[in-house]
Amino acid sequence: MDDNETATVTGHDVTTITCVCGNTVSQAGLIQANSDGVPVYAGGNTPVPDTMAKWPPDEDLYTLCPSCGRVYRDATIEETGTAPVAFRVDVTAAPIAEAIRDHWNLST
């Protein structure tokens, strides 16, 4: 893959990412993830599902594109206003695929 891939982002705001693959929040959505690219469970009163990650104590959050598996680091976007691809995960296989499924189940 191209190590220099960068998503489009507006105003240092991670919710405005247009992924390299073309996905946005209003299309397939973007998911908050940890530094391994595993979707984090953001709250509620129920326990964290086995498939998902706990909210990172250091608040070092990443944004996962569930369409292509590219992951962006929120802190980089907020500091620099650019969104280089931090790393990439396989969204079609466990454990990421299962965590994404549970993320959508819990958020709808």
Instruction: Give residues in contact with Zn ion (CB under 5 A).
Output: 19, 21, 23, 65, 67-68, 70
Q: How far apart are CA 72 and CA 64, in angstroms?
A: 7
User: What are the E-state strand segments in the chain?
Assistant: 6-10, 13-18, 31-33, 62-64, 70-73, 83-88
CB atoms near residue 44 (< 10 Å) = 9
Smallest gap from residue 47 Cβ to Zn ion (A): 29
Q: Are 38 and 49 in contact (CB under 8 A)?
A: no
Q: Which is nearer to Zn ion, 52 or 91 (CB)?
A: 91
Smallest gap from residue 69 Cβ to Zn ion (A): 7
Smallest gap from residue 104 Cβ to Zn ion (A): 16
* Measured torsion, CA atoms of residues 55, 60, 64, 69, in degrees rounded to the nearest 10: -110
Q: Which is nearer to Zn ion, 22 or 54 (CB)?
A: 22
Smallest gap from residue 93 Cβ to Zn ion (A): 16
Q: Which is nearer to Zn ion, 19 or 52 (CB)?
A: 19
Q: Which is nearer to Zn ion, 1 or 43 (CB)?
A: 1
